[in-house]
Structure 1
Amino acid sequence: MAVKVRKVDEPGERELEGLCTLLIDAVHGGASVGFLAPLSHQAARQYWLEVTGQIAVGRILWIAESHGAILGSVQLDPCRRENGRHRADVQKLLVLTTCRGRGVASALMAALEAHAAGDGRSLLVLDTIAGSAAECVYRHLGWQRVGEIPDYAAMPDGELRATAYYFKRLPG
């Protein structure tokens, strides 16, 4: 599958619809990404409209596509505080459940890491559900696990789960 990753400065209607489908698929597939199931299209759209507003103040959004369909996305939120301009938070790495294991997440993270390094960021951080498949992805991509906090986040079904924290140093 040929996957194209691109940065999105202002999602158009087609991108918004694809991103809504992606987020709903993730939540209904059991991903803990800040929402409980069932996630309505309206709530998903509201989230992506909020992200669009955050892009205007520095957040960066990438999407992975194949044949015009959005297969995944990831966001980078650079720290804007004076003492933190060397770091950024990775947020909401999402891949359609039908496309997992095909290199989409790796392609998204490669684009994000290259951009962050080029922007002078030397440290990236993220969190994910402990024991999730995402942990395997991050470890495979060279991320280091710091630890976990028990019962930190609710899964889409409401069950509390531990969250694991990761970091990655970028060449600078």
Structure 2
Amino acid sequence: MAKRRSKSNRAKSTYKSEIKATDQKKRKTLRLLRNLAIATPVVGVAGFFSVKSVQATICEADLTKVGKGVPSIVQIHDPNCQLCAALQNQSRRALKSFEKDSYRFLVANIRTDDGSAFAAKYRVPHVTLLLFDKKGGMTQVVRGPIDQDALENILSAHMKRYG
């Protein structure tokens, strides 16, 4: 009888081990599903903003939009230049006071063929804004960096005259 008890105890012990192993597998699976449920929206939102940023960059790089019915502001930009980044931020802040459809803000990246050709055509260096009328005629060159108030005044006068 002692042998039967020991076999029965071993069977119970094995059964308990199997239940523990199954519980651990379930916990791991549930933990994985929870983590996936948390990560999916985070990755999706990050992807959405990345795509939006790339689309905006592509749209702003299309220099053929100059002279298409609205005044254009084109920044001659070097992505490795801190002054260019500062001028771009200033320009975006200054343009917030205007309706989006009343102007085009474009960026001529001098690290691309189109951007460098555009800068060469107008013989201007980076850290520069070129202001164009509705027909694509260049009306003014603004060399940066520039005081925020002065930039806002220049853009306001440009929009009033050519907008």
Normalised by the length of structure 1, the TM-score is: 0.24
Flag the structure with larger Rg.
2
More helix by share: 2
More strand by share: 1
